[in-house]
Structure 1
């Protein structure tokens, strides 16, 4: 257990540490009678060096959910001196905390809640970095739950970035056919807990497959999701439906071809953007850009010429 490790690595007289975690048996009995106990259980724990902590709480998981645990442990997570003492003790331990520890979730919740720079550095550059290198996905998933619970907490952004980057890299590797080491169910769970990760993954997936089709239903199939789910995500992350986004993306690519590929004839530009006839191409440009293909090509050529002259005259 993490508490035992901290206890064994704490100073010879850990009175301060005990005082911050003490709950008498009377308090525990009241908690049980009121039905509020479960996440923190009072036990007498003796360290391997023979030191006893008397009556104190062993911060464990019990039956409390993370939101309830957040409320119950808020006092500990906000205690700067206690969190610094815990980090100092954990750094002396050769073995990093593991999801196998019974009180792992509770301690991660308290440490991630801390506003101390040293504690944040230990979580980001110490624990998380070690778990990333060893692909300890179970621990990273616990952090997803913790960060979901701490949503809106000011100093949780650093940890959120590290955890999102871990899962985002693996999702990118899978998308581009490279070797990946995380199971699909774990990646899907992480995306469901962290909206920032889900948004980044969705945008990357859409951009990857949007070059293959301009039909919303086909894009949903390529992205591996139903049309209703994709439409909901488009509304959330883009502020518009998939069909509208695809139309804007299509006209953007047409304008890009006109500006950066000036040697292409209009017929080739139409073919590159999946238009079956010149009339459909002209109607689309007039409706979306308010100009004919010839006018778009003239504007694109002017931009290309200006960019070329600016390059030679600088």
Structure 2
């Protein structure tokens, strides 16, 4: 008999959220049954394809709800494992980090993180910059966002046999590519705001702008959380000394342009925060803007049902992580896959019978 179709499972979106779902499924043996449908793939650039623009590191920027705390812990464990086992291939490294708060310190969240973060410690007052109320240090992970996405794409396509199709879908219902499509994972990010069949009014863009510089002496992460600003320096693994400087968190702003005055503000703020950047030569390489896929109430990860040509089909929503997709995405993927455990068991049985 013929093998099972490779569109039994369709994942809509090839950002870090969709790639993580595909990765979790592929590791469980479903690679040949998966098709990823997306307008943009790793290697592409667009303000609406946000994943490549990320800083990107593990930090305390995520929410304090139960799901966010759990996803963070799962993400840290996963990324730390990649850093230990295949750091150069995956473009993930363990990196020393310090985070500072001017006010509004999330004490309960920090307490939870302190239970699993490596080398965690509270910073004494004499180690805090002027105007900072509270600070922590720990061993974080940094990710070269565009290269890590390309790593996952290559792994999925050539090792696990996942199929990729470049297509902009007219609706979420169009993701059911054939009668054999049983499960669709909706990992559409900011497109969930307007995509027919989803049209989630709780989704909104959060604009960010970052500056990429060559500053090989900057080896650690520094982050300062202010009342109306975010400032950070994040070394980019495998880039020969590049560092991502930020940033902006502009909720509801959908402008993908970059602005010189914002670039200057980022350069000024990061020089004040990190002595290595201030006291050593560095070269500005590029400026980028991206639209984080944010959502009122936090990320949506849940099972749904949709009618397609008169038949009820399974739909799993997985979007709205905002700026936390790289650290929360693996945990979100685990929850998404768990939500359809019964359907996956049935697909596994069908595929096994088809091979006999």
Aligning the two structures, in what range does the TM-score lie when normalised by the shorter sequence?
under 0.3
Question: Comparing both chains, which one has the higher relative contact order based on Cα–Cα distances under 8 Å and sequence gaps of 6 or more?
Answer: 2
- Higher-helix-fraction structure: 1
TM-score (norm 2): 0.18
